[in-house]
Amino acid sequence: MEPEGLQSSAAAGHGAPILGPGYTAGTVTDKISAIVLGQRRRRGWFFGFAISFALLMMFLYAVTWLLAVGVGIWGINIPVGWGFAIVNFVWWIGIGHAGTLISAILLLLRQKWRTSINRFAEAMTLFAVACAGMFPLLHMGRPWLAYWMFPYPNTMGTWPQFRSPLVWDVFAVSTYATVSLLFWFVGLIPDLATLRDRARSRIKQVLYGILAMGWRGSAVHWHRYEMASLLLAGLATPLVVSVHTVVSFDFAAAVVPGWHTTIFPPYFVAGAIYSGFAMVMTLSIPIRKFYGLEDFITMRHLENMAKVMLATGLIVAYGYMMETFTAFYSGNTYERFAFVNRMTGPYWMTYWSLILCNIAIPQLMWIKKIRTTVWSLFVISLIVNVGMWLERFVIVVVSLHRDFLPSSWGMYYPTRWDWMTFIGSIGLFLTLLFLFIRYLPVISISEMRVLVEEEEKK
Amino acid sequence: MPQIFRHSTNLISRLSIYGSAFIIAALGYVVYAVSGSSYMTDVNVARDQPVPFSHKHHVGELGVDCRYCHTSVEESSFAGLPPTQTCMTCHSQIWTKAPILEPVRASYRDDKSIEWTRVNALPDFVYFNHSIHVAKGVGCTTCHGPMQEMPLTWAANTLQMSWCLGCHREPEKYVRPKEYVFSVTYEAPANQVELGRKLVKEYKIRSLTDCSTCHR
């Protein structure tokens, strides 16, 4: 161990440490499991949970009224049949992608710095997919018939329309949810066993014990665990690319100007990872602060995430550019009009705000000082979250409101129910996240122990 | 430290993990079986009526033609329910004192329709036309079953979409020569498919399976 090298943790960069100095396997375990088993800082947690839960109740209220009355309470109508629901769906599902990228692709690429952020990034994926999944269901109007989208022997004598990307979506998103859940759960098993062994109350011992599935930490267990993690990582890796590709097909396979573009799949995937890393940043900065985890989630982590955001943000910027260029170069009147309308039409504000949030402001991260300052990263990550939501708004609503026939043009104005469902879904997300922080280890204890050992060997 | 779980937990956990696959499969089968049962579809369940009208007696034993009562079946989407006057063409002469027919006489006297209980109810979002089916060689009993054997009327088929599509996809399995459309005793010949193909061609029957054929 080289304490001097490790102590210069204020400096970030490639050689900067991914773990604070002076930790042993024991102290790492103590520190992380204390968040779950200890009684410290309960008031702050309860305050955050209460706000999130209140938002969740607002979501419940909005959804109950939606089910009672129908989708007419939203601002959608012809020509804008896809409003906030689809915007939110694409936004949430995109956010989930960073978790899968961190846990699967970075695992296969043996990027050690992922260790301390992968657990809650995966949790974020799961909760984001849960939020995302609700919106197409609610948008259907009759969610109780959602099972019609699955191929099963039915009384109608028909199959779902397999030529429609909307059906592919069902499979893409449900596969994604399943694999993410399994991956997350398998990774949790050794930590659940740690919690089981450290828990004092009988009820916690039994609950964590059931979830730990009899883990004893034998060599056979570890061997199988490593194998299962690798296999699931292999399964999850193509999903990072495929899920948002299929989501982009929902648009690209349609004929609406502004949707019918071949660049959509790669540019959607880049956007998904971009927004996902922004969300990981938004969440990890407060978590590391409130739970004193600065030694585990170091400046090196934040800076690495900032770099990923810079890279994916530039791909997204290239996407915007090529989209516009293709519209001009195609010579197609409708395509050209769609893009001029984006910039100068009734929704010009949303387009230019999106350019500001997604392209202009994040370029500040080129400056090392900004990239290594916690509050500026937090602000930029929030701005990117907003920007990516605006991007989906521009794609969905602005493309639909002016189509081929001027006689069918119209405007879309979100109602308060639209806003309540959207903000309420953030409440659902945060509620799940607070429960996760309170009852499960936010950082993988077992992987951190390995990291400690490797740092010691250096 | 004492053990948290008893030794038997090993067995229980294994059983519940492996067993869940079978339990889920069994649940799926139960849902499938119940949704297709006559408990859900009311197929083959005779309905009570204000007057216990017997198709078995009138059609099977007396040989009254379907169209004597269901007059509009050849011209209209709706086959038509007979007005009380149709009943009274005979029942003003025979069984005039029968207590069982009192609701019919009351209806005639007061000029108020008998409120029959519907047996074959099609959902409102489906368009169906009797006349075209009859004109293309679909017999009454193909859909309505052996009416000449029903003392009280029951639905012989589910009217579920898969059932409709069964014929719309393969009409040759069901069509009969036009002269037998109203025959209740007609039985499909052994060479039905061969005959059916010939009739499909002759009657210019198209296999209409577009959504908008029925959902207009």
Picking from A25-29, A217-221, A276-280, which range would have the lowest pLDDT averaged per residue?
Answer: A25-29
Chain B CB within 8 Å of residue A158 CB: yes
In the predicted structure, residue A11 carries a pLDDT above the cut 70: no
The chain-wide mean pLDDT, for chain A, equals: 91
In the predicted structure, residue A107 carries a pLDDT above the cut 70: yes
- A311: CB partners within 8 A, 6+ apart: none
C-alpha dihedral, B189 to B194 to B197 to B199, nearest 10°: -40
The answer to whether A7 and A295 have CB atoms below 8 angstroms apart is no
pLDDT digits (tens, 9 = 90+) for A144-196: 999 999 998 888 889 999 999 999 999 999 999 999 999 999 999 999 999 99
HSE of A321, CA atoms in CB hemisphere, 13 A: 7
DSSP-assigned states of every residue in A118-154: HHHHHHHHHHHHHHHHHHHHHHTS-GGGGGGGS----
Mean pLDDT confidence for B2-18: 87
| pLDDT on residue A4 | 37
| pLDDT on residue A12 | 45
CATH fold of A3-457, please? Answer: Formate dehydrogenase/DMSO reductase fold (1.20.1630)
| pLDDT on residue A2 | 37
| B137 SS3 class | coil
Mean pLDDT confidence for B170-197: 94
| pLDDT on residue B201 | 95
Contact check, Cβ <8 Å, B166/A214: no
Contact check, Cβ <8 Å, A156/B162: yes
The answer to whether A409 and A347 have CB atoms below 8 angstroms apart is no
Query: What is the least distance, in Å, from the CA of A210 to any CA of chain B?
Result: 9
Contacts with A158 from chain B: Cβ below 8 Å:
161-162, 165
Instruction: List the single residue in B4, B5, B162 with the smallest CB-CB distance to A155.
Output: B162
pLDDT digits (tens, 9 = 90+) for A115-130: 888 898 999 999 999 9
The answer to whether A341 and A398 have CB atoms below 8 angstroms apart is yes
pLDDT digits (tens, 9 = 90+) for A328-345: 999 999 999 999 999 999
% of chain A with per-residue pLDDT over 70 = 96
Q: Which residue has the higher pLDDT, A264 or A113?
A: A264
Mean pLDDT confidence for A229-245: 92
| pLDDT on residue A378 | 97
| CA–CA dist B173, B181 (Å, integer) | 15
Q: Which residue has the higher pLDDT, A33 or A54?
A: A54
Chain B CB within 8 Å of residue A159 CB: no
Residue A103's pLDDT band (boundaries 50, 70, 90)? confident
| CA–CA dist A328, A332 (Å, integer) | 8
Mean pLDDT confidence for A203-230: 93
**In this structure, what are the phi and psi dihedrals at residue A195, rounded to the nearest 5 degrees?**
-65, -40
Instruction: List the single residue in B5, B35, B36 with the smallest CB-CB distance to A209.
Output: B5
Tokens of A46: 């309860």
Chain B CB within 8 Å of residue A145 CB: no
| pLDDT on residue A9 | 38
Contact check, Cβ <8 Å, A196/B4: yes
% of chain A with per-residue pLDDT over 90 = 76
| CA–CA dist A342, A183 (Å, integer) | 40
What is the residue whose two structure tokens read 């995109």? A94
Q: Which residue has the higher pLDDT, B158 or A42?
A: B158
Show the DSSP H helices in A394-444 as ranges.
399-401, 416-439
Question: What are the domain boundaries of chain A?
Answer: 3-457
Strand partners, B43: B155
| pLDDT on residue A305 | 93
- A288: CB partners within 8 A, 6+ apart: A294, A296, A297
What is the residue whose two structure tokens read 């639209």? A418
